[in-house]
Amino acid sequence: MAIAFAVAAMAAAETRVARPFPGRAGAESPAPQQRAQSESVPPLSYVCPMPGDEEVIEGDPGKCRKCGMELVPIRLDSVWTCATRPLLVVESKPGKCPVDGTPLIQVTAAVSWSCKDKPSVVATAPGTCADGSPMVKQYAARAHGNHNPQHGGVFFMAPDAWHHLEGTYLRTGVFRLHLYDDFTKPLPLNQVREVSASLFVKDAKTGKEAAIPLVRNGRTLQAPIGKQAFPAQMFAKVKFKADGPESRFDFGFDDFSKEPPKTPTATMTNNAAAMMMAPPPAATAGSPGPALIEVAAGVDPALVTLPIPETVPEILAQLRARTDQIRAFIDKGSFASIYVPAFQAKDLALALDGHTRDLPAERRKVAAPAITKLVRSAWLLDAFGDLGNKQQISEAYVKFVEAANDIQSSFPRQ
C-alpha cells in the first residue's frame, strides 16, 4: 500500500515545516484565544509512545495495554507527498511532485499546530497565538506511515513491527530484497549483515519449489532466478537476526519491477523552492480543467481519492460503496489494497461530520461517536492490511461496519 498506521503502521519519513513533532504529543500548548472553525481537524487518538507498541490506538486516555506507559494524544492524517522527499510537499489529493514530476504517494503523518514565537510548544488543535496570528499547521513523520514501494516492487512490514522489506524482480532475471527500518529508511549496513534469507521459486520443469540463498550486495540481498512466467509467484523466508525467528513473505509480480525516476541532483533555484511550498494557482475563466491525475504505482485507478459529494445522500452512497469494496478485498485476500477504500471512507465520514449540526440531538449523539469509530477503524484496517493478518483485519472490519451502519441510520437518505 501506501500508509499507513497502527500495528506499526503510523507514518512517514521527513518533517514538513522543518521541525520534528516532539515526543510528547500532548505537550502543553498556548491557550488558543479562538479555535479555527473552518479547518478540518482529524479526530484525536491516544497512542503508546513506546517504540514497537504503535498498534495501541485508543479513543480515550489511559495506560498502554502492552507496556503500561501513559497514552499520549495525537492527530493522524493521510496526505499526498513526494516519494523522494516525503512531507516536504503536502497535498490533500493525488497529483505530481513539483520536485521531480513523479506521482505523489499517500503517507500517514502526525498533525500539530504551533506559534512562530514558540515553535517547540505544540498544540493538538488549531487556534490563535498571543499576537493574534493563527497557529501554523505542521506535519511530522511517524513510524510506519510510508508503506509505499521505494523501488517499484512489493512492500511488506515484518511481524516484528519494525523491519520492512521490498522485493523486486528485475528484467535481468535477478530478485532483489531491499531492507528498511520503521521509517522506511534503508537499513544500516551493520544490521543488513545480520539478515539471512532464501527465496523459493517453482522449477518450471518439475513444479517443485527450489530454495535459492539470497546473497548480500551492499545494502540489499539478491539472487539470479532467471526469467519466470508472469504472473510470477515466489516467497522468501527471512531471519533479521541470527537468533531471531524466520518469517515468510509471499511476492507476486505481474511484470518486471520498474525503478522510479531518480531525484534531480541539480540545486533548486529559489523560484523552484517557492513553487514547492506555494499552493497551485487558481484556475482562471476559460482555462482548461485539471489534467488527468497519474496515480502512484500499485494503486487501483478505480479507487483513487474522489471529490467529496456535496449532498449527504451522495456521501452516504459513496460510504456504502467503500464498505462493500473493503469486504470484497478481504474476501479475495487482497489485504494490501484495503487501505485505499478505507481511507476514502474515512474522508467521507469526516465530511459527514460537518453535517451533524443539522441532525436532531438524539441522532447527533449516535453520529458523532460513530464517525470517530469509523475513522479509527480505517486506520486499523490500513495497519492490519500491511501485516496481512486476516483475523485482525476481519475484527477491525466488524467495528468499521458497526460504525458505518450507525452513520447510515443517523442521516436522512433523501
- 51-61 pLDDT, tens per residue? 777 767 787 89
CATH code, 203: 2.60.40
Which range (50-59, 98-107, 316-325, 370-379) has the least confidence? 50-59
Asked if residue 20 and residue 131 are part of one domain, the reply reads yes
Most confident of 27-36, 200-209, 326-335, 398-407: 398-407
For residue 121, being part of any structural domain is answered with: yes
Asked if residue 7 and residue 134 are part of one domain, the reply reads yes
Asked if residue 169 and residue 28 are part of one domain, the reply reads no
Asked if residue 274 and residue 359 are part of one domain, the reply reads no
Average pLDDT over residues 341-359: 89
For residue 354, being part of any structural domain is answered with: yes
- 126-163 pLDDT, tens per residue? 999 989 999 998 888 877 778 888 898 999 989 888 89
Asked if residue 143 and residue 159 are part of one domain, the reply reads no
Mean pLDDT score across all residues of the chain: 77
Q: Considering only residues 268 and 367, tell me which one the structure prediction assigns the higher pLDDT.
A: 367
Nearest CA-CA partner of 259 in 385, 99, 95, 84: 84
CB 75 within 8 A of CB 45: yes
Which range (33-37, 183-187, 259-263) has the least confidence? 33-37
Asked if residue 242 and residue 220 are part of one domain, the reply reads yes
- 206-263 pLDDT, tens per residue? 778 889 999 998 899 999 999 898 889 899 999 999 999 999 998 889 899 988 765 4
For residue 388, being part of any structural domain is answered with: yes
Predicted TM-score of the model (pTM): 0.56
Give 247's strand partners. 238
The count of domains in the chain is 3
- Tell me, what's the pLDDT at 275? 29
Nearest CA-CA partner of 327 in 315, 317, 344, 341: 341
Asked if residue 135 and residue 4 are part of one domain, the reply reads yes
Asked if residue 175 and residue 130 are part of one domain, the reply reads no
CATH code, 350: 1.20.120.290
Q: Considering only residues 273 and 402, tell me which one the structure prediction assigns the higher pLDDT.
A: 402
3-state secondary structure the chain: CCCCCCCCCCECCCCHHHCCCCCCCCCCCCCCCCCCCCCCCCCEEEECCCCCCCCCEECCCCECCCCCCECEEEEEEEEEECCCCECCECECCCCECCCCCCECEEEEEEEEEEECCEEEEEECCCCECCCCCECEEEEECCCCECCCCCCCCEEEECCCCCCEEEEEECCCCEEEEEEECCCCCECCHHHHCCCEEEEEEECCCCCCEEEEECEEECCEEEEECCCCCCCEEEEEEEECCCCCCEEEEEEEECCCCCCCCCCCCCCCCHHHHHHHHCCCCCCCCCCCCCCCCCCCCCCCHHHCCCCCCCCHHHHHHHHHHHHHHHHHHHHHCCHHHCHHHHHHHHHHHHHHHCCHHHCCHHHHHHHHHHHHHHHHHHHHHHHHHHHCCHHHHHHHHHHHHHHHHHHHHHCCCC
CB 4 within 8 A of CB 136: no
- Tell me, what's the pLDDT at 414? 66
For residue 263, being part of any structural domain is answered with: no
Q: Considering only residues 45 and 363, tell me which one the structure prediction assigns the higher pLDDT.
A: 363
Asked if residue 137 and residue 200 are part of one domain, the reply reads no
Asked if residue 76 and residue 99 are part of one domain, the reply reads yes
Q: Which residue has the cell 502492552?
A: 66
Q: In the numeric block, which cell numbers belong to residue 73?
A: 494524544
Average pLDDT over residues 306-324: 89
Please report which confidence band the pLDDT of residue 24 belongs to, taking 50, 70 and 90 as the band edges: very low
For residue 221, being part of any structural domain is answered with: yes
For residue 356, being part of any structural domain is answered with: yes
Asked if residue 188 and residue 132 are part of one domain, the reply reads no
- 85-141 pLDDT, tens per residue? 778 788 888 888 887 788 888 888 889 899 988 877 888 899 999 899 999 988 888
- Say whether pLDDT at 34 is over 60: no
Q: Considering only residues 72 and 17, tell me which one the structure prediction assigns the higher pLDDT.
A: 72
Asked if residue 159 and residue 61 are part of one domain, the reply reads no
For residue 262, being part of any structural domain is answered with: no
For residue 260, being part of any structural domain is answered with: no
Task: Print the domain residue range for 56.
Answer: 1-147+268-281+288-296
